[in-house]
């Protein structure tokens, strides 16, 4: 049973070690399925392993309304990044109810291993790119909190408090 790790837990600030397919911390197919299911239960579109207390380089992305199309990205590597950028609103399961605009590249090319350990390559743009980079940051110990100014963050936190009341 997975449990969500929330900020300021120190695991969110640590770079994760590669997933070792020759000596896995957990069966990769089981990890993929359980993370996708958990992400969908939480109504998220992405989830990194360290957000559920598992110290390894894997994240999942998908649509909470369609768990079957969820996908895991083991040991992801970003190969190309466009100079063009876009500022989109982001949220994070580890920071409940906080939403803030983050500027990120418009398009990336990346490679990763799937749960069979085979390498895949793909391009991501717009919203999918934002999600990929958000989760990729988690694996490097970076949160969206680290990507915005102190003032922008303070305003986002204040707005979240107003939403709760």
Q: Round to whole Å and give the CA distance between 57 and 41.
A: 22
Number of domains in the chain: 1
- Residue-wise pLDDT for 45-54, tens only, equals 999 999 999 9
pTM assigned to the model: 0.95
Provide the domain limits for residue 63: 10-164
Report residue 148 as tokens. Answer: 């915005």
CATH number of the domain where residue 66 is located: 3.90.45.10
Model confidence band, residue 79 (pLDDT cutoffs 50, 70, 90): very high
Say if 85 falls within a structural domain.
Answer: yes
135 given a catalytic annotation = yes
Q: Round to whole Å and give the CA distance between 48 and 32.
A: 11
pLDDT of residue 165: 58
Looking at 41, 79, 120, 135, which residue is catalytic? 135
Burial 60-93 (b: 16+ CB within 10 A, else e): bbbeeeeeeebebbbbbeeeebeeeebebebbbb
Say if 19 falls within a structural domain.
Answer: yes
């Amino acid at each position: 049973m997975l449990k969500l790790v929330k900020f300021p837990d120190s695991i969110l600030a640590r770079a994760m070690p590669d997933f070792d397919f020759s000596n896995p911390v957990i069966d990769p197919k089981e990890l993929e399925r359980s993370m996708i299911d958990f992400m969908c239960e939480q109504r998220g579109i992405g989830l990194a392993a360290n957000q559920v207390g598992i110290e390894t380089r894997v994240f999942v992305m998908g649509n909470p309304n369609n768990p079957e199309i969820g996908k895991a990205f083991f040991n992801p590597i970003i190969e190309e990044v466009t100079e063009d950028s876009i500022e989109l609103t982001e949220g994070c399961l580890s920071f409940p109810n906080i939403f803030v605009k983050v500027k990120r590249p418009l398009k990336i090319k990346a490679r990763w291993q799937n749960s069979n350990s085979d390498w895949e390559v793909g391009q991501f743009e717009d919203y999918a790119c934002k999600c990929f980079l958000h989760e990729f940051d988690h694996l490097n110990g970076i949160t969206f909190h680290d990507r915005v100014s102190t003032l922008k963050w303070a305003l986002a936190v204040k707005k979240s408090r107003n939403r709760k009341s």
